[in-house]
Amino acid sequence: MGISNGESAFCDAKNYLSKQSWFYGLVIREDIVQFLQKTGDWLCRYTDSHGFMQIVISLKASDNIHEFHVLGFVYIFGSSFGHVPYVAVNGHYYLALTTGRPSRWYIVDWKRNTFSSVHELITYHRVSKLPCGVSLSSAVPRPDWLISSERLKIKRRIGSGNFAEVYAGTMTCILGLNQMLYVDVAIKACRTVENRSERGVIDELTSRVQMFAEAKLMSKFAHRNVIRLYGFACDEPPIKIVMELCPGGSIRNHLEVQQDEIGDAEKIFYAYEAAKGMRYLHHEGCIHRDLAARNCLIGARGNIKISDFGLSKAAAELQGLKFDSKMHMPVRWMAPETLRRHPRFSVKSDVWAFGVLLYEIFNQGEKPWPEVDFCKIVRSIRRCNMPDPPRGTPSSISKLMAVCWAANPMKRPGFSRLCNVLHLLLTTKFRLPPPCQLSIASLDGVVPDNVSFEESTSSKRTVEDSHISYVPRQLKLNEDDLRKFEDDDMSRSATLSTEEKVGPLIKR
C-alpha cells in the first residue's frame, strides 16, 4: 500500500521538525512555560487533541504565552478543503485525512498567509509578526535531556508497570566526526492506548504527564546511589524515559534467588547504599514515596541504586495533598500518617518505608504480610502493629527497624543518622568480604568496584561523617539514643562526600 500525498506531506514536516533544536515534541503546555522567559522566545511542539496530533508554536509575548496551531489543508476533489490533524496509530503519526492533495500550511484562525511547508512558515514568521504582535525572534533550544527516539534501539523487555513497559536497549551518542558510542540503557516506554475513546485518550495523556514529571525530577539528580537519567524521548509516541541499565536487577530478585547465601554484612551493605541514595534525595528536596526492595537496583559496579520516581515529588508539592483513590500506592510500605484522607508524606514517611526495606532485606526479599487482606494491612499500619523482624535478623538491625517504625514521625531518625549507624555497623560488628566474594559478583554484568567497598568499610572517618560528632560507639538504640537521633536534616543539609556526587556520565 503506497503512501498518500497527505501522509508524505506530514512525514516531511515531522522529519524537518525532529532535526530542529527548538522542537520539544510532546512536552505539554504547563511544562514549556519555564523555557519561555522573555518576549520573542519561542519553541515548537506537538499537542494531542482527542488522539489527533497538531503542531503548535509557543511564543512568549509581553503579556502572556501564546499558542499558534499549525495545520495543513487538503483539496478534496479539486474544490473543497478540510483541516489536516495527525493521528497516532501504533506509535506512528498519520494524516487523519489521506485522500486528496495537501497543498498549503497555515496558522489556525489566521489564514492570511499560507505556505508550502512548515519550514517556510517558520522562516517567514522569524521576521514577520504573528497576530500577537511579536515575531519568532529567539528560538529556545531544548535541554540536553530531551533526546531523539532515533538514538534508541530496544532489545528486550525487562519489566512492566501500571502505565509503562521497561526494556533493555542501546542509545547512540555522537562523540565527534564519524565517532559514535553505543551505551546500554533501560528504556521505560509509556503504554499507548489502543482504545481511542475519550477515556482512553485521557488515561494516555495522564500517563504521559506523569512520565514527563518523573523525567524532569530525575534530571536534577547526580549520585552514585541514584539511578541516572540519560534522557527523555518525546518526539513521537510512545514517550520514553532513558536511564542507565542496572544489569544486576533488583535486590528483591537477588535476595529471593540467593536467600541464605548472602551474609549479614552484605545485607547491611545493601541497606547502607540505599540509605546514602535516600539521604541525597532528601538533601535535594525529593520525597520518594516508593522505597522498596523492588526499586533498589544493582548497578554494574555493585552499587545499589534507588530507582522508580513515578510517585516521587518535591517536598513543596506535597503540601495540602489529598488522598487519591485512583493512585496505585504501595500500602505495605506506607507510614500511618499517610493512610488517611489528608495524607502527610515527608522525609519521615520515607524513613518508615526504609524500615520495611530492612525487613525485606533480612526476609530473603519477601514483603511483609504477603497473604493478608488489604484492609487488615491498613489497620495494622495505622495502629503501628508491624510484623516481628525475620528470624535470624541481627539485634542491631531489629532495633533500627523499630526506630524507623516509631509512631511519632519526629522520633524517626533521618537518613543522615541511618547512614552513620549503618556505617558504624560495617566498620565494627560486621565486615564485608572482598568484592569478588560477594554474592552480587556472580551476577552477569556486575563487577563490584573496590573503591566503593573500601569507602564503605574503611574505619577512617570520611567527609560524609565528619559533621556529626555524636555517633554512639556502641549501638544501643534505646529511648535516650532516640533523643540523640531526633533529626534536623531539613534545617541542616547533610554534607555529601565527594565520591558520592557524580557529574554527567555522557555529555550530549
Domain boundaries, the chain: 5-135, 146-244, 251-460+476-485
Tens digits of residue pLDDT in 282-292: 999 999 999 99
H/E segment holding residue 421: helix 415-427
**H helix and E strand count, the chain:** 12, 19
Q: Tell me which of 41, 235, 290, 350 is the catalytic residue.
A: 290
Q: What is the DSSP string of 250-302?
A: BHHHHHHHHGGGS-HHHHHHHHHHHHHHHHHHHHTTEE-S--SGGGEEE-TTS
User: What whole-number distance in Å separates Cα of residue 240 and Cα of residue 298?
Assistant: 22
Q: How is domain 5-135 classified at the CATH fold level?
A: SHC Adaptor Protein (3.30.505)
DSSP three-state, residue 109: coil
DSSP three-state, residue 304: strand
**Contact assessment for residue 224 and residue 275, using Cβ atoms and an 8 Å cutoff:** no
Identical fold for domains 146-244 and 251-460+476-485, yes or no, is no
Residues in Cβ contact with 290 at an 8 Å cutoff, skipping those fewer than 6 apart: 308, 309, 310, 311, 312, 330, 333, 353
Q: Is 373 a catalytic residue?
A: no
**Contact assessment for residue 318 and residue 346, using Cβ atoms and an 8 Å cutoff:** yes
Percentage of residues of the chain with pLDDT beyond 90: 47
pLDDT of residue 400: 97
User: What whole-number distance in Å separates Cα of residue 266 and Cα of residue 259?
Assistant: 12
Binding residues: 188
User: What whole-number distance in Å separates Cα of residue 500 and Cα of residue 223?
Assistant: 6
What radius of gyration, in Å, describes the C-alpha atoms of the chain? 26
Mean pLDDT of 102-117: 63
Q: How confident is the model at residue 161 (pLDDT cuts 50, 70, 90)?
A: confident
Phi, psi (deg, nearest 5) at residue 162? -65, -35
Query: Rounded to an integer, what is the distance from CA 41 to the centroid of its chain?
Result: 28
Q: Which CATH number fits domain 251-460+476-485: 1.10.10.10, 3.40.50.620, 1.10.510.10, 3.30.70.20?
A: 1.10.510.10
Residues in Cβ contact with 177 at an 8 Å cutoff, skipping those fewer than 6 apart: none
Indicate whether 87 pLDDT > 70: no
Give the least confident one: 24-38, 40-54, 150-164, 421-435. 40-54
Tens digits of residue pLDDT in 177-210: 778 889 999 999 988 766 656 666 677 778 888 8
User: What whole-number distance in Å separates Cα of residue 183 and Cα of residue 491?
Assistant: 39
User: What whole-number distance in Å separates Cα of residue 98 and Cα of residue 9?
Assistant: 10
Q: How confident is the model at residue 90 (pLDDT cuts 50, 70, 90)?
A: very low
User: What whole-number distance in Å separates Cα of residue 370 and Cα of residue 367?
Assistant: 6
Under CATH, to which class is 146-244 assigned?
alpha beta
Binding residues for ATP: 188
Percentage of residues of the chain with pLDDT beyond 70: 73
Tens digits of residue pLDDT in 430-447: 988 899 999 999 999 999
Q: How confident is the model at residue 259 (pLDDT cuts 50, 70, 90)?
A: confident
User: What whole-number distance in Å separates Cα of residue 255 and Cα of residue 245?
Assistant: 19
395-404 and 415-427 are packed helices; what angle lies between their axes, rounded to 10 degrees?
A: 180
- Burial class of residue 268, CB neighbours in 10 A (0-12, 13-18, 19+): buried
Indicate whether 450 pLDDT > 80: no
- The dihedral built from the CA positions of residue 463, 464, 466 and 467, taken in this order, carries a sign that is positive
Q: How confident is the model at residue 324 (pLDDT cuts 50, 70, 90)?
A: low
Residue of 12 and 321 predicted with greater confidence: 12
Residue of 98 and 104 predicted with greater confidence: 104
**Contact assessment for residue 158 and residue 297, using Cβ atoms and an 8 Å cutoff:** no
Q: What is the pTM of this model?
A: 0.80
